[in-house]
Structure 1
């Protein structure tokens, strides 16, 4: 217990420095699970975990905010696919990428091009563990999923929205000498969040509705729907949002016909 407590204390110290990904290195199984549980409880950030042993991932699969990576190793290549993946997408705009089909992972050894057969991919797919293998002659990362079976980019997009929402509200408070606790002040807060979602939509985080408009809603309750105690304490707790995350195409299938 003392060991896991020390690890969590170290994680807590730097957790809110703005980093999105945490990659545990040199931790034992209990410490890895403790870190995963901590991140899950925060509802912000993501753990990327590497192991050559697929059985190591199962105890983590009940958490949404963890993804597993497993690739071959040799004398010059280590199992650091998670770090290589972050390096591959780190400079891209959130919403403009997902994690499937990424190639060019620096320093990573792909599954053997000749000996790794499609049926050997099944254990990785079933465990929702990402690996690096050859498809049509090019090494690619598949499938960009979390261990719980969701998609990593969905949570990265969610975290972008959370962080930028909080930043937008802080900026409003700083830039206005006073926000009146009435419809005028509330409208300023609502407009700040709408701006965040407009950017998120343009970046590809938020989906389109059938009519081509943004599939997101920002709600700002009027003063008369708030608790008197919150109003007296100058705390506006009437903001909320919801959105549908944008989807991606990770596979394409062809049906062909030849007429002779």
Structure 2
């Protein structure tokens, strides 16, 4: 777990930054028992450790080939032999947990078999933060991820040399969170559309998967959903809010000699949260009403309302917020009338 004094828990109620949150981690199998984590700012430095014929290089190349590529690609390794025993290295899940708090947000698995992919999907889901992105070639594999909102699936069969999982991250993940929808991502470098009928595509979407298809003569992603049908931009925005409020409040505690446990300290915390949510509104994460006002609220409790146990431990547990996410049009229906004179 990361060392921190601030924890933000977001409870999603259903009626109702560029750097870091777009970085990928390539978690790859290694013959070496010792697990490593390393960050690379380009292919030249990466190929010193992972030559051009390796699965890591190919995933990283697909990321860096896109116009919106992130500043770095991180690589971590686990034991190709399965690990788990002393001296045999880390299993894929152990390596994932070891490096979860590193500054990446989207996970790519170039070497994992189906059972390992499922294990990682489950492990990441438990954190309710960050994403696993998978290229899937067998439709039968899709069903096992149906409960995991933190797994993003791209069905892309019969194209072994195309890494759509990595390409979509290079194209979309590092753009300002809230500024895009993950549907309609077009002209991915090195990726060709699949041949699929409209009915098959709808069935694929119902299974929680996306595809890269040809629409109106343009190659583009068919949807922007996770395995549960939740929209990627909605969850990515939620992560942005969580990460920025935690960082902002932690910085407030660290930068001040003292944040007093009274109305002054509470007002300081409220100000931080309000500032983050205001920026989230400007970025397109939070909705505006008809008058252009941001649709979020920040609430705070007085010290008299804080449990005594929290007071003794110097914990302020009275801060809360609520917001309505800004959506995006993914389809349109138009009614027309022809007037026959």
Normalising by structure 1, report the TM-score. 0.92
Find the partner of 1:87 among 164, 167, 170: 170
Task: Give the structure 1 partner of residue 92 of structure 2.
Answer: 7
Structure 1 position 3, deviation (Å): 5.9
Task: Give the structure 1 partner of residue 107 of structure 2.
Answer: 22
Q: How many angstroms apart in 1 are the aligned matches of 2:147 and 2:123?
A: 13
Gaps spanning 5+ residues in structure 1: where? none
Q: How many angstroms apart in 2 are the aligned matches of 1:118 and 1:180?
A: 60
Matching of residue 227 in structure 1 with residue 307 in structure 2: yes
Q: How many angstroms apart in 1 are the aligned matches of 2:174 and 2:244?
A: 18
Greater mean deviation of Cα atoms: 55-64 or 206-215: 206-215
Secondary structure of 1:57's aligned partner? helix
Q: How many angstroms apart in 2 are the aligned matches of 1:173 and 1:53?
A: 49
Matching of residue 194 in structure 1 with residue 287 in structure 2: no
- Counterpart contact for 1:73–1:109, Cα < 8 Å: no
Structure 1 position 140, deviation (Å): 1.1
Structure 1 position 125, deviation (Å): 2.1
Task: Give the structure 2 partner of residue 213 of structure 1.
Answer: 293
Deviations 1:80-106 (A, max 9, x none): 212111111133100000100110111
**RMSD of equivalent CA atoms:** 1.7
Distance verdict in 2 for CA 1:98–1:200, change over 3 Å: same
Runs of 4+ in 1 over 3 A off after TM superposition: 2-5, 72-75
- Counterpart contact for 2:134–2:152, Cα < 8 Å: yes
Q: How many angstroms apart in 2 are the aligned matches of 1:46 and 1:32?
A: 12
Structure 1 position 72, deviation (Å): 3.9
Task: Give the structure 2 partner of residue 164 of structure 1.
Answer: 244
Q: How many angstroms apart in 1 are the aligned matches of 2:317 and 2:224?
A: 36
Task: Give the structure 2 partner of residue 42 of structure 1.
Answer: 127
Normalising by structure 2, report the TM-score. 0.71
Distance verdict in 2 for CA 1:217–1:171, change over 3 Å: same
Gaps spanning 5+ residues in structure 2: where? 1-81, 85-89
Structure 1 position 221, deviation (Å): 1.2
Q: How many angstroms apart in 1 are the aligned matches of 2:247 and 2:208?
A: 33
